[in-house]
Structure 1
Amino acid sequence: MAHTRIAPRAARNEGQWAFGDRELLNANEELKAADDGLNVRARIETVYSRDGFASIPGEDLRCRMRWWGLYTQRRPGIDGGRTATLEPHELDDEYFMLRVRCDGGRLTLRQLRVIGEISTELARGTADITDRQNIQLHWVRIEDVPEIWRRLEAVGLTTQEACGDVPRVILGSPVAGVAADEIIDGTPAIDAIHRRYIGDPAFSNLPRKFKTAISGSPHHDVVHEINDVSFVGVVHPELGPGFDLWVGGALAANPMLAVRLGAWVPLEAVPEVWEGVIGIFRDYGYRRLRNRARLKFLVADWGAEVFRDVLEQEYLGRRLDDGPEPPAPPLGRRDHVGVHPQRDGRFYVGAAPTVGRVSGPMLTSLVDLAERAGSDRVRLTVEQKVVVLDVAADRVDELVAGLEQLGLEVTGASTFRRGTMACTGLEFCKLAIVETKARGAALVDELERRLPTFEHPLTINLNGCPNSCARIQVADIGLKGVLAGGDEGFQVHLGGALGIDGRLGRTVRGLRITAEELPDYVERVATRFAAQREDDEAFAQWALRADEAELA
């Protein structure tokens, strides 16, 4: 195919492979070039698990082991003020966080039971549902990792490429294939991408992590605006249901929302197009500086038109059809909490763990309840929630009662329990400055006590550092961990939103609150919003027009 556009080269050497820039420009690139991260598994199984933590060299411990879902966790007793002053080895504990990837958020009850048993027996009962539909365990010993892998893989689960500079877990609609209003089911594409490409050395050395979302839900339930590549369900007026293609979204310290390429992709072509986008990232992505190595920077420099041209001409060898923009999602919550009808006459039941924290015993009890309700599968959501599918009408009430006895609220979930998320925080994360999980849970309890009748949708996202694992810039109230006068505190971001009118939250000039002030602050702002909102005005709309004095 004749080229009509040439991909522009960066003004300086950014380590772009497509231009022959193979100089190793930082320590991470040197480590990845020396040995593929996928190869570390053999050393874990044959050496490190037998000889213990002290036998692990630093280049595997703090880099390559991530390719198999393993991060060292934070050593207890190190306060947030010391996070940036200590060397990595001083922060390391001799235990690991282990991330189980759940592509599409899908788990059979057998799989969930195995995760619950592993948690109880080998991870001190810990388990967190993440906002990327994974489950994370803590307190994992290197000696137990091979046995954990054996148990997971026996039921079709893996930790492969759950972390690292690789294609991470693929987000999918939690109600794919069952929702009555679904545009198209993206599950076959998720399965095809996982089968063809996860663990493929062709994509195991990317400039940085690569995040994917595929959903045919009209409710836009996979935060497509902040993924590297997203396929969003849409109906083409001539070609029928398919997907609208978005690229270049990510948050962290330099947040950028994804851009539409204006291309319509049929279901069967999604894996091929995905391969093209990740190929561009591998070949043209910036590798010089880690903080500029995400796809969003390349998209920002190229623009949507150039990116689409390169994708079509160099990677696909054909033009994609132009397509329509997805319509705005319906008003209301998109967390799937509550009891909802499926297309087959049965129901799905969404429950809200507090800030995503569950436990091994809770998970196995959840499995027991779902089995009694006649279900055989659950889904995790990007809001740190869990959904039980395929419940017969006459089993719904019993299931709801059982879930709520476990602390998994369904019909009784308050706005605050439904809308509050938290990252791992100071408890286990080596990058964190403040505690998040415990503070988030305490905040929910306190707001339920103070504002028992508050019913308006409100998202409150707590993050322990600037990296935005909990998506603070796109929350109604985003709270970024900082030190305030030497104490744990938060910088406030207000009015972030996703959807057709997606925007990043605004910061209130000079506003930092201590952790102790947090309940008072959220109560004050939530009360003002409830009093001043107009008609069906959302919090993000109100925060955009409110005076700064009203937001302080």
Structure 2
Amino acid sequence: MYRYDEFDAAFVGERVTQFSDQVRRRIAGELTEEQFRPLRLMNGLYLQLHAYMLRIAVPYGTLSARQMRMLAHVARTYDRGYGHFTTRQNIQFNWPKLRDVPAILSDLASVEMHSIQTSGNCVRNVTVDQFAGAAADEIIDPRPVAEIIRQWSSLHPEFIYLPRKFKIAMTGSPNDRAAVKFHDIGLMAQTNREGAVGWAVYVGGGLGRTPMVGKLINGFVAHEHLLAYLESILRVYNRYGRRDNKFKARIKILVHEEGLENFKGQVEQEFAEIRGGVLTLPLEELDRIEAYFAEPDYADHGVVAIDVEREKILDPAFGRFLENNTFPHKRAGYSAVTISLKPIGGAPGDATAEQMEAVADLAERYSFDELRVSHEQNLVLPHVALTDLRAVYDGLAAAGLADANAGEITDMITCPGLDYCALANARSIPIAQDISRRFAAPERAREIGKLKIKISGCINACGHHHVGHIGILGVEKKGTELYQITVGGDGSEDAAVGKILGPGFVADEVPNAIERLVDAYIAERSDPGETFIAAYRRLGDAPFKEALYGNG
């Protein structure tokens, strides 16, 4: 895990001191809200519907137990006892008092955490596959490169005030678990004919008002030239990106209007000029950063597999946890464990201070002092010995965190919606809660299989509804909250934007509408192993539209 060097520590410390004075001046009335706004946004502080919200960066989603305990301390001391984990692998605190924010940032700095690059028109926190460095299907651990991108972008003078916010996602696996094709830049690890590892680069993906799948701009960029290539893309965007209309300011609009080939030509021209210069990454620097992400000291516990079917007979709840919440590890005898933050009837992504401390304890004892935040609003213990899975499960159960629903219909991504957000048109959390109660029975969830529902309270799509197998978008029409339903979205390597099937539903009708879609899928699937998204791609819209609206 990366540790701050002297520059990082000084940089964060100076930022805390600077922002403390800015907060003092705002409270004293020396700064107006208009003057204060760009200053607070540079430090992750938003003004939401009811209160300020502070967003804390978790670079590439990796945390230590010490850092998680600090998040618990912030939740208990300065907020209302909980935090909300987000789709950018960050955490948000929804109720801090403005006067307390400098103290929060100072406490966070003591454990090498900050809120930089969590807001504003800059390069945001780089996200990666939550199983990075552990996954059995991984080509390379992307986190060292993500750390290098963080260092390169944090104080880059040309990229502090971009036309709009800019998001980068990476995966070291051919199986995309980071939704890279729905980011401004997406990076997927590749090997060339010589066996060298590099990066396929996608550009112009995004959600929001104009959802677009990213386009492949370069199939292989070597490690040492990646920063130069990324800078070339950002230079072109900074030069030509729209600044007169924020709704058309993202790079996806520029790529769409210019055309990929024209945009690529300008990027390649920039790249030709700076390639081989100061942005060339020395091998020794890459080795230095990679050393921070060295593999844990795995031990041989004599167990390389668990009979899940036997465990399901002996203890159905534990067996279901093994089936749904464990992930194949690259090291025999180990597993990655997903900790669901989607309890039945709960607010997706929320965790209490006590739960954060419990997870920190488990990470310290059973996962080499390491844990992750996933972009699907769950937590992960990346390195758990198979012999410790029962102890981990028991610890999670004691903390109310043993829901065995990872990947199932109740494992929903949900934005805060109108309960918190000033931009929202409709509530998201109550919709998720109603759906999770409707499909709470484990037998029903098992019958349905893997199905991703994603919910957004407005068109900004913080809940990623466009890429849900079933997506739900809250809209407002004549004072009424309505919910549009889309089908067929996919955030994986087979990226697709969901299709709106018809008019929206009022809140009370949404669970029934989802059930009709699920029933249609079960009735029409070719066999119990065909997933919802596979069935949709085979069948098309017709049976799902009929299920929602009938023949009329």
Place the TM-score, normalised by the shorter chain, in its bin: 0.7 to 0.9
SS at match of 1:139: coil
CA distance in 2, matches of 1:373, 1:188: 23
- C-alpha displacement of 1:452: 4.8
- Which of 358, 370, 374 does residue 365 from structure 1 map onto? 358
Residues 125 and 337 of structure 1, relative CA distance in 2, 3 Å threshold:
farther
- C-alpha displacement of 1:401: 2.2
- Which of 7, 28, 32 does residue 57 from structure 1 map onto? 32
Question: How many residues align structurally?
Answer: 479
User: Which residue does 1:424 correspond to in 2?
Assistant: 416
- C-alpha displacement of 1:343: 2.4
SS at match of 1:233: strand
- Which of 488, 491, 499 does residue 495 from structure 1 map onto? 488
TM-score (norm 1): 0.81
Q: CA RMSD in A?
A: 2.5
Matched, 1:165 2:121: yes
Matched, 1:116 2:72: yes
- C-alpha displacement of 1:500: 4.5
User: Which residue does 1:5 correspond to in 2?
Assistant: none
| 2:176–2:493 CA contact under 8 A, matched in 1 | no
- C-alpha displacement of 1:53: 7.9
1:3-152 pair list within 5 angstroms: 44-49=19-24, 52=27, 56-75=31-50, 95-152=51-108
Residues 53 and 473 of structure 1, relative CA distance in 2, 3 Å threshold:
farther
CA distance in 2, matches of 1:290, 1:64: 19
Residues 522 and 405 of structure 1, relative CA distance in 2, 3 Å threshold:
farther
CA distance in 1, matches of 2:149, 2:245: 28
CA distance in 2, matches of 1:524, 1:189: 44
CA distance in 1, matches of 2:477, 2:245: 30
1:206-355 pair list within 5 angstroms: 206-317=162-273, 338-345=325-332, 346-354=334-342, 355=348
- C-alpha displacement of 1:104: 1.0
Question: Over residues 330-353 of structure 1, what are the superposed CA-to-partner deviations in whole Å (9 max), with x where a residue is unaligned?
Answer: xxxxxx962234323332211111
Question: Over residues 173-224 of structure 1, what are the superposed CA-to-partner deviations in whole Å (9 max), with x where a residue is unaligned?
Answer: 2122222221122112111111222133321110000000111122201101
Matched, 1:446 2:402: no
Structure 1 residue runs without a partner (length 5+): 1-37, 76-94, 321-335
Residues 172 and 305 of structure 1, relative CA distance in 2, 3 Å threshold:
same
Question: Over residues 286-325 of structure 1, what are the superposed CA-to-partner deviations in whole Å (9 max), with x where a residue is unaligned?
Answer: 11111110000111122222222222212443789xxxxx
CA distance in 2, matches of 1:382, 1:452: 22
Structure 2 residue runs without a partner (length 5+): 1-12, 277-322, 343-347
CA distance in 1, matches of 2:405, 2:256: 43
- C-alpha displacement of 1:126: 2.7
- Of Structure 1 and Structure 2, the greater strand share is in 1
Query: What percentage of aligned pairs have identical amino acids?
Result: 29
CA distance in 2, matches of 1:507, 1:374: 42
| 1:313–1:319 CA contact under 8 A, matched in 2 | no
CA distance in 2, matches of 1:312, 1:318: 10
CA distance in 1, matches of 2:402, 2:436: 13
Residues 337 and 266 of structure 1, relative CA distance in 2, 3 Å threshold:
farther
Amino acid at match of 2:533: A
- Which of 514, 518, 521 does residue 513 from structure 2 map onto? 521
Matched, 1:473 2:504: no
| 1:105–1:379 CA contact under 8 A, matched in 2 | yes
Question: Over residues 459-496 of structure 1, what are the superposed CA-to-partner deviations in whole Å (9 max), with x where a residue is unaligned?
Answer: 11111111111111111111111236743330111111
Residues 551 and 495 of structure 1, relative CA distance in 2, 3 Å threshold:
farther
User: Which residue does 1:24 correspond to in 2?
Assistant: none
Residues 47 and 180 of structure 1, relative CA distance in 2, 3 Å threshold:
closer
SS at match of 2:476: strand
